[in-house]
Structure 1
Amino acid sequence: MELITEAGDERIADYRALTDVELRTRWEPPHGLFIAEGELVLRRALRAGYRPRSFLVEAKRAGQVADLDGAPVYGADPEVLEQVTGFHVHRGVLASFHRRSLPPASEVLAQARRVVILEDVNNHTNLGAIFRGVAALGVDAVLLSPTCADPLYRRSVRVSMGEVFAVPYAKLEPWPDALAQVRDAGYTIMAMTPADDAVPMQRLTGAQRLRPALLLGAEGPGLSRQALAASDLRVRLPMRRGVDSLNVAAATAVACWELTRDDDFEEEPDGAAGAVAAAAPAAEPETSGPVTSARAEELWAVAALSGDDAARAAWSMPDEGRSPGEQPGPGEPVERERELLLGGEDRG
């Protein structure tokens, strides 16, 4: 381990200002890197074949990465880490990885049977939760319009619990003309919309379920008119009690379950999703006792999937990188949960 004593040390330039979304968006893709946060996530990146550039750890936790090689390990005191990154690195370890070239959409489509297509989903939390749901529910790949958020941005990676490394994805462009490429590959493009004339998903025919491409838009505006026009049919999730929509990540998860519920499959405890069960502690009360970082990340991702703003505020990670204007308002149940998030052993 090489000790870092100053935040300006050029050896750790990859980790500067991690909470500045605009800066990181300009810096990471052109320089061909991304950041993984937490031991569990960085080990998933390694298992997926991503090549590390460096590891940055709290000096006293260097043992967490003692078995890793292939890149330099830098250690620093917590104060230096916070100066560099812009937040308290309570998981104790970060890693910088080389990006890989994305495969063409045609290759992803050829190797998949069921895909999710996203238009303008530019919220990193939603994108990460979508990838986690896609991985868990057996959909094969994700296709992104050019204006979607970066799946390898730190928050997306963290919320997905590293499942962005397990799910193939590609850019679909030019948009929306490239949707014709999906249809030509034999898929039925199903546009998710709350419109009354949309087909309830449970009424889809067997033929329509053979090779579905589920098309979803950003939370709020939904799908564009052009994307809707390019779809083969419109589908919706039945709602009750006057609710007309769900958070886009929750809607994606429910729709994926509907498309895959008749599959004959066995759980894969040794896969990426199964690693959560192996790494996370036993279930703990959500309002009392210490909650480890791994458990807290799971609770936070579940809250993100729920679409409940209060729940998401309650389980927001302390280093989420909000600007002052985005901080939770008075009365939101944050302080106790943040204490819980910081308690107990850090397992990444």
Structure 2
Amino acid sequence: MFATETTSTLNPERPTECDKNNTFVLSPAREFHYEVTPIPELRTSRDVRVRVIATGLCGSDIHYWQHGRIGQYVVDAPIVLGHESAGIVEACGPDVENLAVGDRVALEPGVGCSSCETCRNGRYNLCRSMHFAATPPYNGTLATFYVLPEECCFKLPPHISFREGALVEPLSIAVHVCGLAGNLQGKSVAVFGAGPIGLLCCAVAGAFGAATVVVSDVVESRLEFATRFGATATYKMEHQSPEANAESLLSKANAQVAGGVDVVIDATGAEDCTSCGVYALKRGGIFVQAGLGSPTIAFPIGQICDKEATLKGSFRYGPGDYKLAIQLLDSNRVRLESLITHEFSFAEAEKAFKNVANRAGIKTVIYGP
């Protein structure tokens, strides 16, 4: 079992009153510091202010810290990171109808413009004007308070902890990915990558009715964990050709007779995995790219054409994904507690970042302020 690091006096279910907005700030020099900033005001009559209780760390948070940018998004001014959060409603605008002070909520940390073509077509995750937490220039949730519109705050069932509530964000990504794969009832699914997103895709695929879910990775301990998190089989990638890896993977998945798996989900972005996934896919199958690695890779596109396969990209989550993610938790079809292997107080936030950078455990959560 992975070690757990936390403060013994920490009680995230009973936060103390606080009249300051303590923030954990990353500078353009990629150095962290703490800062007290003004308490954010409600910007519209539909906004709510949430006291943040728990925040999970994501690979993008680590990337901004270590590299100062992700693609076109550059840390050229101080920024607050964090976007996987849950907390307690502390204030509501006059037009808020379905939330009240004291409600426990998971935060959907992106706000679209609501007026562009993609927003009005119900694909607000593709909005060019998206204000997404911890994506420059917008601050994230590693602060005492965070403000969002009511529709971006989702009530948590009483039996769901704040730390599980923080992971509704990555769980919603997995819900979106598996939704793009279509009807999974009775299907065979290969998931590449046993990190948090890959494992969540594994669990959601099973909850959606997949008969076979084989998870592939290069780390033995993560594959062992995958078997306890919904995988029906695992495969450790070998130093051999993508075709040979695909053949071995299909043997593990008992999918050789069918000519391949129905669905491939790549949560790595690694060239070897994407290539192997294409070779493991059956004719007419669906390949969903969920992970981001190198922006440019060699890809066996001829195989996609020869198999008349469907290739889909996946970006964050869209309408209904958060609601469905919480329903999966409420019904216990997906459980998140075992994913959380390390916990830190807000005062130990930098230590938490280093823990994730060192690839310790699976999921790290910061409590507070």
TM-score, normalised via structure 1 length: 0.28
> Which TM-score applies when normalising by structure 2?
0.27
Going by fraction, where is helix more abundant, 1 or 2? Answer: 1
Richer in strand (by share): 2
